[in-house]
Amino acid sequence: MNPARVHLLFELLAYALGFQLFLRERRRYPTTAALAGGAQLALLAGAILGAALGARLSWWLQDPQLAFAEFPSAMHLMRGKSILGGLLGGVAGVEFAKARIGLRESTGDAFVWPILLALALGRIGCHLAGVSDHTAGLPTAAPFAFDYGDGVPRHPTALYEIAFLLAWGGAIALLAPRLRERGDRFRLLMFGYCAWRLYVESLKPAPLRYPPGFSGLQWLALAGLLYYLKSIPRIARQLPEAPP
């Protein structure tokens, strides 16, 4: 099968299964489940529009030369996307929508397992798509290097990410009974994922490096990391006090 079709198949599977899991998860969180239809629609619209815009903006930041190669062609500008940008854009969109409808409570916890599932499935597609997906790592002589068909052993960064998602998801599951404030599961997810992307992007080729040698996605990951960092000391303080 064509690598692009393989990737698309897993991407669609990630969206479908992630959404179904979200529908189940939101029933566990009264704030999310009890919202009026208009409020839920506003949050959904904020998430979708924010994710779509963030995914494209992050691609423009990561590879501006390619992104604007056919400017002002709107079709070309919409070609690329980034999962990290989509996640952070979705968060920004939801926060904007919450501010507009006057909702102060966190609604993020219902998204934790759907996001982890969707990310893992998406990365399977990235791995199977090979170098055509532009997410394969740099050449390496490590024993676990993977040849994607071009004769060059590379870091299998998609497989690394799946392993990270399993490990970080397990850590969140262990800590979850001790987390008393709504939204802390989601904050841990985003903090860990931004930290991961800040690291793993150093194992991937980057079309452009900004000072001090970071790619655009690394700068985006750092911004997300700093945004969620303020919650980590508070979360850490409550862990020994809450019952397991």
Q: What is the pLDDT of residues 150-202, one digit of tens each?
A: 899 999 999 999 999 999 999 999 999 888 888 999 999 999 999 999 999 99
66 and 16 within one domain? no
90 and 198 within one domain? no
186 and 75 within one domain? no
At residue 115, the pLDDT reads 95
107 and 95 within one domain? no
202 and 111 within one domain? yes
Residue 98 pLDDT > 70: yes
Q: Could you tell me the residue range of the domain that residue 49 belongs to?
A: 36-101
Statement: the pTM of the whole predicted model exceeds 0.95:
no
87 and 170 within one domain? no
223 and 213 within one domain? yes
Domain boundary among 55, 83, 101: 101
Query: What is the secondary structure of the chain as a DSSP string?
Result: --HHHHHHHHHHHHHHHHHHHHHHHGGG-HHHHTS-HHHHHHHHHHHHHHHHHHHHHHHHHH-HHHHTTTTT-HHHHTS---HHHHHHHHHHHHHHHHHHHT--S---GGGHHHHHHHHHHHHHHHHHHGGGGT----B---TT-EE-SSS-EE--HHHHHHHHHHHHHHHHHHHGGG--STTHHHHHHHHHHHHHHHHHGGGS--S--BTTTB-HHHHHHHHHHHHHHTTHHHHHHHTTTS--
User: Structurally, how many domains does the chain consist of?
Assistant: 2
158 and 182 within one domain? yes
